[in-house]
Amino acid sequence: MKNYFLFFLLFLSFLCHSEENELFRKKIQKEIDDKILLCLGETEWPVSINENSIWANANMESLVDAGLVKLDFKRGKNKLWNLTNLGKKEFNKNGDFCYGRMMLKDILNITYINKKEDL
């Protein structure tokens, strides 16, 4: 009987810790959703990008595939990207192209500062 009681206490402490982590995870996720947008960062069009900027050009190519952007012309090492009609419509909704959101998967550890346990 004593072993069952100890097991129950151990299990109960695990559940409490899990609920606390879930509460913190939800609060942190809300802050992330409210404050962090994953956006392209281009707020004025057309955009000129050096062909050596592989990351930026790859982003533009993905927007081409989505029908939002087109390559207007290439001058020297610079490419001039412009919005399509669909791109203009979508861009005007937010003033940028936002493509996703961050998700908090797990909280591994909680360290309280000044013994305050609320977020």
CA 9/CA 15 separation, integer angstroms = 10
| Mean pLDDT, residues 20-32 | 88
Residue 97 class from Cβ within 10 Å (0-12 exposed, 13-18 middle, 19+ buried)? buried
| Mean pLDDT, residues 86-112 | 81
pLDDT of 30 strictly over 60? yes
Residue 69 DSSP SS3 = strand
**The model scores a pTM over 0.85:** no
Mean pLDDT for all residues in the chain: 79
| Mean pLDDT, residues 73-90 | 91
Q: Note the pLDDT tens digit of each residue in 53-64.
A: 998 888 899 889
Are the CB atoms for 107 and 119 separated by under 8 Å? no
CA 100/CA 46 separation, integer angstroms = 23
Instruction: Please tell me the least confidently modeled range out of 6-20, 24-38, 65-79, 95-109.
Output: 6-20
State how beta strands 69-75 and 47-50 pair.
Answer: unpaired
pLDDT of 32 strictly over 70? yes
Residue 45 confidence class, pLDDT cut points 50, 70, 90: very high
